Amino acid sequence: MKSKEMRGNLLLLITAIIWGSAFVAQSEGMKYIGPFTFQVVRSVLGALVLVPFIVKGNLAKKKEGLPYRENAKMLWLGGLVCGGLLALSSGLQQLGIQYTTVGKAGFITALYILFVPLLGIFMKKKVAAKVWIAIGIAVAGLYLLCMQDGFSLSVGDTYVALCAAGFSFHILAVDYFAARVDGLKLSCLQFLFCAVFSAVPMVMGEQVEISGIMQAWLPLVYGGVLSSGVGYTLQVLGQKYTKPAIASLLMSLESVFAVLAGIILLKQIPSVREAAGCILMFGAIILAQLPDKKTQEKE
């Protein structure tokens, strides 16, 4: 495996760890403020935390005489598209969770691991046979991990399925724009547009109170600085070196790390079924990373 690809995979694995533990923070934050208020505040925090690094990077490049100005049109288009898809997908997820169980929502959302390679076919992105097998194993693992009471579709499930499709397009959009513009700047603009789009349902459907935001400061800081600022930025940087299908598999491990976070932080003991699901998902990731015969022959 190439060093750049390995680095990209590692960044996406760290992303999954951060996102998985963020479920606990988001759950706690919802006790004080509405979901869209949470999303707006954490998106703004995510953008702000990146500004010093962007400024520092620009100054360093300027000092060394390197170009630091981006293709403005491509950068703003990338921020608009990625931010819009992020806001839409997260909003659909929040809407769906109101009418379905958290377990079903987690399972259906993570089906982007199947949607991404399917959509990639239309973009002429080839997916190896072993990756398709790994995807099938991962879906089975997700089912064991998230589904506890059987499977039946409701209105909420439809919203979450649309959310999964939205996240699939988001992953493909990041894959496209991250190769063409600076990752930090793209991530920063993505958060700003996500905040703007999310502010509409926040103003229309939620009562925003400063006291509630202050009470939720710790979950907001974690969600804004780590989950958004660090997590989504690592996604952008990691996807520069990782194929979309592999990236979606790695990021789907957030479900596994959510279970582990529940064990560590909330003392929740997983069932045998959940443990089996985690093992299957880790096995799927390992299978997807195994080198092809052609690669081994070259070596």
pLDDT digits (tens, 9 = 90+) for 268-284: 666 787 778 778 877 88
The per-residue pLDDT for range 126-160, each reduced to its tens digit, is 778 888 888 888 888 877 876 666 656 667 778 88
- Reported confidence tier of residue 189, pLDDT bands at 50, 70, 90: very high
Q: Is the pLDDT of residue 94 over 80?
A: no
Cα 248 → chain centroid: 9
Whole-number Å distance between alpha carbons of 44 and 39: 9
Percent of the chain with pLDDT over 90: 22
Whole-number Å distance between alpha carbons of 226 and 49: 10
The pLDDT of residue 198: 94
The pLDDT of residue 146: 65
Contact between residue 134 and residue 249 where contact means Cβ atoms under 8 Å apart: yes
DSSP 203-262: HHH----HHHHHHTHHHHHIIIIIIIIIIIHHHHHHTTSS-HHHHHHHHTTHHHHHHHHH
Q: Is the pLDDT of residue 262 over 70?
A: no
The pLDDT of residue 299: 39
The pLDDT of residue 295: 44
Contact between residue 112 and residue 124 where contact means Cβ atoms under 8 Å apart: no
pTM value is 0.79
- Reported confidence tier of residue 291, pLDDT bands at 50, 70, 90: low
Dihedral (C-alpha) 201, 98, 102, 35: value to the nearest 10 degrees? 30
Whole-number Å distance between alpha carbons of 170 and 93: 14
**Which range, of 116-125, 201-210, 255-264, averages the lowest pLDDT?**
255-264
Q: Is the pLDDT of residue 296 over 90?
A: no
Q: Which residue has the higher pLDDT, 88 or 70?
A: 88
Tokens of 43: 């998106």
- Reported confidence tier of residue 30, pLDDT bands at 50, 70, 90: confident
Neighbours of 11 (CB within 10 A): 21
Q: What integer is the mean pLDDT of 94-105?
A: 68
The per-residue pLDDT for range 195-237, each reduced to its tens digit, is 999 999 999 988 888 999 999 899 899 888 988 888 888 988 8
